[in-house]
Structures are given as C-alpha cells and as structure tokens.
A and B are shown apart, each in its own frame.
Chain A
Amino acid sequence: DAGITQSPRYKITETGRQVTLMCHQTWSHSYMFWYRQDLGHGLRLIYYSAAADITDKGEVPDGYVVSRSKTENFPLTLESATRSQTSVYFCASSHQIYEQYFGPGTRLTVT
C-alpha cells in the first residue's frame, strides 16, 4: 500500500529553470493539496484540487502552476524558479473535506 508518494525527494536547480514536482496517491482521494514548509511559517497552502480538472489557488500561489488530469496525480510546476522558492514541498490528499494525509516531502534548493 504505497499511499501518497512524492518525487523527487531532493532537487537542486538553478534560478530561472522550470521544475516539476510530482505527487501520486493510490487511495483515489478526491482532494489533493500542495504546501510549502518554511521555518517560522509552518505549512502554507499553494494550490488545491477538489477533483480531476478542478484546481484553485491557496495562500501562496504566485510562481506555481498545477494540473490534475488524473485523480491520482497532482504535479506542481515552478515555471521559472527563484531563490525564494527554496523550501520543502508537501503534497497531501483527502477523501473527505477533513483528514488530510501528507506525503514524505520534496526538498527543493534553488541556486
């Protein structure tokens, strides 16, 4: 039972490059979320999705793009990475509105 997985787990990229972080869940959960975690800020919602082809902005969406063509996948793309996007990114999913389950995270460094 894989649950929710993220890839890559670690990524170093240069400023200006496009980067895609992958998230895959095996539970067929309707809801999926992307958060970033930074010291002193806790977890902040970037984008979320209620179902395939339905996405919406969270608290800090600028510089990020998401898509959800299949229920199980929710990739997050940084179109032109900036140093301020250096962070740990977590994907989460939820069957109902509540009880979100988190993936192991992707540590992204933008140089």
Chain B
Amino acid sequence: QQQVKQSPQSLIVQKGGIPIINCAYENTAFDYFPWYQQFPGKGPALLIAIRPDVSEKKEGRFTISFNKSAKQFSLHIMDSQPGDSATYFCAASSSGTYKYIFGTGTRLKVLA
C-alpha cells in the first residue's frame, strides 16, 4: 500500500512532443505529490508538486494532472526540448510523516 508505481520506465520523444509520465498510488493518506528531475551525475531537483485539492497545476512547460478518484497523477512536458532529457521521479507523502515514497523513475530522451 506504500508503493508508488511509475510508468513508463523509459520514453523517447521528438523535440516539440509532449511526453507523459504516469504514477499511481494506493495509500489514500498521501496528500503531497512532487515530481523530481535528475540529470546524470546530479542530485534530484524538485520540479513541481501538487496537492489533492486541485486537479491540475502548471509551471512553465510542466503540468501535473491529478485524478484523486483513480489515485493517479501524471507529468506532462509541453514543447519538450533536448535539455529536458533526464530521469523523472514521482513521489508521494502524507501529512505528519515527512517521508517520501518514490516511484522507480522514467528515463526521458528528447531527440533534436
């Protein structure tokens, strides 16, 4: 019940395409869902996060869609660029625990 399932494991898109990464969870106590971006040799960096009281959040070219009833959330990258090539992790956390449960990651490659 503590797992966060992330798919796909890897993704290749053309420049300008809209890659979509999906995550699903079981624990209904989760109330914070961040996405992290990680470049090779670097630590993960917080990209965008959402709470379940909203269904969508946008920051620049990055959008999180959240479906509370399905217990799923997704990251969309609009007008993707080669510089977006990285590994993306979703995570979930619940109030009072400050512990993240991470997905297994998606390696994204954007072709020029």
- Residues on A close to B: CB < 8 A? 31, 40-45, 48, 50, 58, 90, 92, 94, 97-105
Whole-angstrom CA separation of A28 from B96 in the bound complex: 20
Residue B34 CB within 8 A of the other chain: yes
Name the interface residues of B89-112: CB closer than 8 Å to any CB of A: 89, 91, 93, 95-100, 102-105
Q: CB distance A100 to B43 under 8 Å? A: no
Whole-angstrom CA separation of A98 from B95 in the bound complex: 9
**How big is chain B's contact interface, by range?**
20 to 34
Partner pick for B46 among A44, A50, A100, CB 8 A cutoff: A100
29 CB-based A-B contacts, threshold 8 Å: A42-B89, A42-B103, A42-B105, A43-B44, A43-B89, A43-B91, A43-B100, A44-B102, A45-B99, A48-B98, A50-B98, A90-B43, A90-B44, A92-B43, A97-B93, A98-B34, A98-B93, A99-B34, A99-B49, A100-B34, A100-B100, A101-B46, A102-B36, A102-B43, A102-B45, A104-B42, A104-B43, A105-B41, A105-B43
For residue B4, give the distance in angstroms from its CB to the closest CB of chain A: 8
- Overall SS of chain B's interface: loop
- Residues on B close to A: CB < 8 A? 6, 32, 34, 36, 41-46, 49, 89, 91, 93, 95-100, 102-105
Across the two chains, which residue of chain A brings its CB closest to B51?
A98
Across the two chains, which residue of chain B brings its CB closest to A96?
B98
Across the two chains, which residue of chain A brings its CB closest to B32?
A98
Q: CB distance A102 to B44 under 8 Å? A: yes
Q: Which residues of B are found within 8 Å of A100, using beta-carbon distances?
A: 34, 46, 100
For residue A50, give the distance in angstroms from its CB to the closest CB of chain B: 7
Known: A40-B104, A43-B89. A97 touches B96 (CB 8 A): yes
A97-B98, A98-B49 known; 14 new pairs, CB 8 Å cut-off, are A31-B98, A42-B6, A42-B104, A42-B105, A43-B44, A45-B99, A45-B100, A48-B99, A98-B34, A98-B98, A99-B49, A100-B46, A101-B46, A103-B43
Across the two chains, which residue of chain A brings its CB closest to B4?
A42
